Amino acid sequence: MVRDLSIKYQKLQDCLKSLESVAVAFSGGVDSTFLLYAAKEALGDRVIAVTASSYSFLQRELLMCKMTCYRMKL
């Protein structure tokens, strides 16, 4: 099973590396955090995270998104 996940992750990396750059819609959830991490690993500084702030998006969630991006050096 670990081997299968490793192969799938490598396919994701290959797909991301084939792109010139990416913008990841980043909500701070598990899925978008994983994709943002994979994109950063594959493309380095050619990645940006995009988070929309609204009344339904709590300020603490926005702060967590900002902290995650800071840690990933985005």
The domain locations on the chain are 2-71
Q: What is the pLDDT of residue 70?
A: 96
- Amino acid (1-letter code) at residue 30: V
User: Over the stretch 9-63, which tens digit does the pLDDT of each residue have?
Assistant: 999 999 999 999 999 999 999 999 999 999 999 999 999 999 999 999 899 999 9
Q: What is the pLDDT of residue 39?
A: 98
Q: What is the pLDDT of residue 2?
A: 80
**74 touches 48 (CB < 8 A):** yes
Nearest-angstrom CA–CA distance, 41 and 10: 11
Q: What is the pLDDT of residue 5?
A: 94
Q: What is the pLDDT of residue 9?
A: 97
69: Cβ contacts below 8 Å, ≥ 6 apart: 26, 49
Give the CA radius of gyration of the chain: 13
